[in-house]
Amino acid sequence: MIALKLTDLYKKYATGVEALKGINLEIKVGDFFALLGHNGAGKSTTIGIICSLISKTKGSVSILGYDIDDDFAKAKRNLGIVPQEFNFSIFETAWQILIQQAGYYGVAESIAAIRAEKYLKMLNLWEKRHARSATLSGGMKRRLMICRALIHEPPILILDEPTAGVDVEARRLVWDFLKQLNKAGKTIILTTHYLEEVESLCQNLAIIDNGQMIAHDSVRNIMRQLTRETYCLDLQKPLQKFPSIADVQFSINNDDEHSIEVSLDKNFDLCQLFAQLQKAGAVVRGIRNKNNPLEELFLQLTSRKS
């Protein structure tokens, strides 16, 4: 079954800017899906249209078979939204925010209380349930927004940069929580700038660039398109001269002369690289990927498109 279907989705703002130029996308029920793109690529506009916060110019949006134009209430009820910006009252407590949100969807207070307790405990917020939201840290506020989005138990959860500004420990907590939700059958759609988040959590992804879809596949298949990789090598002493190797690019790390960066084809034999470096007098003490491989691919695809 299809959880979300976008057909020929266009958006042209009054300023004349074409934010979307015919987006077509299908996301299956139970998927953990990532929507990626540079700032201004069109992903936030896409999410805004899905959530009925932005009006589309043309095209259609179907949520679990309900068209947002024909069955707005039913379509909207199937969504839980975690926006990028905090948008709850700073004067209300975490508990009040959740119970009030449940009421908007007709959830009885007794049932809402059970759900609120469950989600607050799962996201380590139970002890803060009576604290005003203004007193919560940024990471706590983000987790509270996830609780609020889930209080009416929607089958689809959309998260726009859910771990922005969150510390490492809290981020891992959110990751584990989202994995649990997805394992239980929840369809999750994620936008993020943390590409390691995509590799850790998501099954499929799409990349939007300049209002157009430039990639849509499983994370595994997308990763197979990576043609080059960049490594950082730690040397025992600075290298006086780089060896000349076809299609291998060397550069010195400006912050550490004992460290060099090497860009090469992903199928290049690293043993050959080390042999050439040894001939040049280099002693390699360590090697690591400079960037997340998905980040490398993302940059390759978007630069290729532009």
Residue 74 is predicted with a pLDDT of 93
Model pLDDT for residues 119-146, shown as the tens digit of each residue: 999 999 999 999 999 999 989 999 999 9
Looking up residue 276, the CATH number of its domain turns out to be 3.30.70
From 223, 250, 270, the end of a domain falls on 223
- Do both 238 and 210 map to the same domain? no
- Do both 91 and 202 map to the same domain? yes
User: Alpha-carbon distance 31 to 34, whole Å?
Assistant: 10
User: Alpha-carbon distance 286 to 280, whole Å?
Assistant: 17
pLDDT of residue 302 exceeding 90: no
Please state, in angstroms and as integers, the Cα–Cα distance from residue 139 to each residue in 68, 146, 199, following that order. 32, 11, 22
Residue 303 is predicted with a pLDDT of 64
Model pLDDT for residues 239-259, shown as the tens digit of each residue: 888 888 888 888 887 677 788
Amino acid symbol at 207: I
The boundaries of the domain holding residue 217 are 29-52+77-223
pTM beyond 0.75: the answer is yes
Residue 296 is predicted with a pLDDT of 65
pLDDT of residue 187 exceeding 50: yes
From 208, 223, 238, the end of a domain falls on 223
Amino acid symbol at 185: G
* Strands of the 32-36 sheet, one edge to the other: 79-82, 156-160, 187-191, 32-36, 204-209, 212-218
From 189, 223, 257, the end of a domain falls on 223
- Do both 297 and 161 map to the same domain? no
Please state, in angstroms and as integers, the Cα–Cα distance from residue 76 to each residue in 46, 61, 65, 71, 290, following that order. 15, 11, 12, 9, 42
The single residue listed with the structure tokens 């939700």 is 181
* Residue 236 contacts residue 230 (beta carbons within 8 Å): no
- Do both 155 and 290 map to the same domain? no
- Do both 130 and 99 map to the same domain? yes
pLDDT of residue 76 exceeding 80: yes
